[in-house]
Amino acid sequence: MILHQIDLRGFRGDEAAWRQRLPRPVDEQDRSSAAVAEILSDVRTHGDEALRRLTARFDGVDLDRLQVPPAEALAALSRLPADWRRALEVAHERLVAYNEHEAQPAPPPFELDGVTVEHLIRPMARAGCYAPGGRARYPSTVLMCAVAARVAGVPEVVLCVPPGPDGRLDDSVLAAAAIAGVDEIYSVGGAQAIAAMAFGTESIPAVEVIVGPGNRYVAEAKRQVSGVVGVASAFAGPSEVVVIAGEDADPALVAIDLVVQAEHGPDGLAWLVTWSAAMADAVDAAVAGIVENSPRRTDLEATLGSGGYTVLVDGPGEACQVANVVAPEHLELMVDDPEALLDGISAAGAIFLGPSSPASMGDYLAGPSHVLPTNRSARFSSALRVDDFRRHIHAVRVRPEAIESLGGHVEVLATVEGLPAHADSIARRRTS
């Protein structure tokens, strides 16, 4: 059996009992905070010199330069096979369409009793995007981050990507940056890239917001610099999926979708939740077959060994409860009537409805960003959105008659709170 099995059948209605039996996520902060803090301090103190030294240490590459010339991205775009380029362009077109839809203007100004509040939206001046490297290339992540920033109106979009073994960035990643209109590209990865974008170095001016997924060190670095800069999508770390499968689901499709997320590498999770023991057995066998024949077998075995589970429950209601406890990045509802389960789901980064809606579509072309909250942060955060690159400012205009009709109440409240200057600022404006 390749997936660890947890049997929660018979615990119907006893939520406390089955919560205790579910494995708790590893506290990523405890595992990596000290190492990340050291990297952040190093970059903050030593700038580019630290970036070069850390790149040599973690990526095995000695770099003469950090910034990738813009012409290299355009050259990479011209080198791409036609079908690769068209796929990136289609993804870009769909992301622009979705983000423009999401970025519709604010409603008309609010007006009541002489007070008008206008909702102003201002884009960040400079956004930092992070795309992982090392184990795989992620041009799709470049598009997901940069398109939302561009549609939001951010004038300067920066990209950091770990260099490959030869010190270069992959053509598909550079091409995606060219398509999305990224302004600056840097061959820097890991926690040190997050530090550089947050604090600034000689080569990399600081940004106002950092977005993009990464390993647990990247995620922890973003957590630590939050407050120095804006950090979107609370904890976009190692990939996760929960598949809720009914009796009639196709075990082969369930299995491949579990493997899809495990394929991203270590520290992720891939959970099957079902009320069918036969389905559990069939999916486990199918996963084992896929893993055995995969060129990424070692990575898959490591991820499933630590984060692969089958949870047996009494029915769909309990399956939704398990999903809410896990609060996964991706949740697939492989049941006959997936919409019927939606009301029972309160925490997930993205939900995929039915057997023809795999998370892979969301990874590339569905429209919303695939930069999603992980490590249970879907309980309080959401997918990367246009709004993550914008500030919301209230512009308040108070007419003199409103000072007369409402000012007395403000004076009372300010006096109650012991703030006499607040009260006086109103009193000086009142004529009676």
Residues acting as catalytic residues: 329-330
Residue 310: closest CA among 4, 24, 19, 23 = 4
Identify the H or E element spanning 51: helix 48-59
Phi and psi at residue 345, to the nearest 5°: -100, 125
Q: How many CB atoms lie within 10 A of CB 178?
A: 23
Largest CA distance in the chain: 84
Q: Are 244 and 353 in contact (CB under 8 A)?
A: no
- CA angle, 25 then 364 then 377, to 5°: 25
Q: Are strands 330-334 and 230-231 parallel, antiparallel or unpaired?
A: unpaired
The two structure tokens encoding residue 72: 């290299």
Q: Are 68 and 186 in contact (CB under 8 A)?
A: yes
Q: How many CB atoms lie within 10 A of CB 317?
A: 13
Q: Give strand pairing partners of 332.
A: 243, 352
Q: How many CB atoms lie within 10 A of CB 44?
A: 17
Residue 322: closest CA among 253, 256, 245, 222 = 245
